[in-house]
Amino acid sequence: MLNLLLISAATALTALAAFPTQLVYQSPSGLFFENLAVRSCGKLLLTSVLSPTLHTLDPAVSNGTLEEVYTFPNGTSLTGIVEYQPDVYAVIVSSLDLTTRRAVLGTSAKLWRLELTSKAPAATPIAVVDSKLLNGLSAVPGLPDLVLAADSDIGAVYSINMRTGAARIALQDAAMAAGAPTPALGINGLRARDGALYFTNSEKRTFARVALAAGRGGVQQGGAVRVLGTTMPATSMYDDFAMDSEGRAWVATPPGAVTLLFPRANGTWGQELAAGDPAGGDDVFMQPSSGAFGRAERTEKTLYVTTGAGQVLSVNTGGGDV
């Protein structure tokens, strides 16, 4: 995330791996897409570190255009977004210094609730978190008021109650820390599922899992962190990711790829190139930042990927034609 290279967008699609890929949308201004969520109606919600406006895109429409959903006040950037109740979303709003990749001095990250359950969007500020870089977001199965937020600066996970606004550090581990000076990023994307938290560490180039246990007001760390994969080559890094129904992780891997990490029968994990080029040698995935699967039956194997070059791409993870 936030790897602000000056890159020119192109539409030629020459992915090196087997999963078919298609360009769905290209921002004419090169808007840096940071994260996305897929609504039950199939439309995408897109955040950008360059704008406090949340946009929507219908990927089923040819030559579709972005539409504004809501502009959040008192911020310049949107990072994480997650649906934690039906058509109700948590959104991280910040004022970011894009050189240091940290919050502007004197500002803090804010968690907002955005309800899209009626015709007009309804947004409510929920919590202020004293963080220099609040990044990825995850809902917590079984706890409908709770979201987890990655703090990429201090290497921790905040637990935020979206009903009361209570926020606290729930997990903090050396495996989540950047281990390098600013602007290095530690924990980035995260997903809670099956009693565990899966997360990436961008600076350490790792994908890892840690058990979750019941804790005060939500969850806490329930065991040691296990690293499941490391990026190859060393010039690449893991960003945000999506997990499919089989428990596999599809990880945005800047500068130019999507990596598939998957559990083996013997308990180990493997990984393979899903799409693009890890070395950034083609013009398909230009700084991929996040991914999310479609919700309808016909799109449940379609992975939508955002990029720093203002692209939205689709990857058919079931193979065959896009």
Reply yes or no on whether the pLDDT at 152 is more than 80: yes
Predicted model pTM? 0.94
CA 233 to chain centre: 21
Of the CA atoms within 13 Å of residue 1, those in its CB half-sphere come to 37
| Cross-strand pairs, 315 | 21, 303
Determine the average pLDDT of the residues in 4-10.
31
Q: What would the pLDDT profile of 155-165 be if each residue is shown by its tens digit?
A: 999 999 999 99
Contacts of 265 (CB under 8 A, 6+ apart): none
CB 4 within 8 A of CB 98: yes
Six-digit token pair at 164? 């009361």
Report pLDDT digits (tens) over 163-218.
999 999 999 999 999 999 999 999 999 999 999 999 999 999 999 999 999 988 89
Q: How confident is the model at residue 14 (pLDDT cuts 50, 70, 90)?
A: very low
State how far the Cα of 240 lies from the Cα of 299, in Å rounded to an integer: 20
Whole-number pLDDT of residue 282? 74
Chain-wide mean pLDDT for the chain? 92
CB atoms under 10 Å from CB of 321, counted, come to: 6
Residue 15 clears pLDDT 90, i.e. is over it:
no
pLDDT at 5 over 60: no
Whether residue 45 contacts residue 36, with contact meaning beta carbons closer than 8 Å, is answered with yes
pLDDT digit string, tens, across residues 97-150: 999 999 999 999 999 999 999 999 999 999 999 999 999 999 999 999 999 999
Question: Is pLDDT of 243 > 50?
Answer: yes
Give, in degrees to the nearest 5, the angle at Cα 91 between 274 and 237.
30
- At 30, is the pLDDT very low, low, confident or very high (cuts 50, 70, 90)? confident
Domains of the chain from N-terminus onward: 21-316 (2.120.10.30)
In eight-state DSSP terms, residue 206 is: E
* pLDDT at residue number 254: 96
Residue 281 pLDDT: 81
Q: How confident is the model at residue 283 (pLDDT cuts 50, 70, 90)?
A: confident
Instruction: Kindly report, residue by residue over 31-60, the tens digit of the pLDDT.
Output: 999 999 999 999 999 999 999 999 999 999
The alpha helices in 106-172, defined as continuous H runs, are: none
Q: How many CB atoms lie within 10 A of CB 51?
A: 21
Instruction: Summarize the confidence of residues 263-291 as an average pLDDT.
Output: 93
| Count of CA atoms in the C-beta half-sphere (13 A) of 266 | 3
Beta bridge partners of 210: 197
Query: Is residue 252 a contact partner of residue 291, using CB atoms and an 8 Å limit?
Result: yes
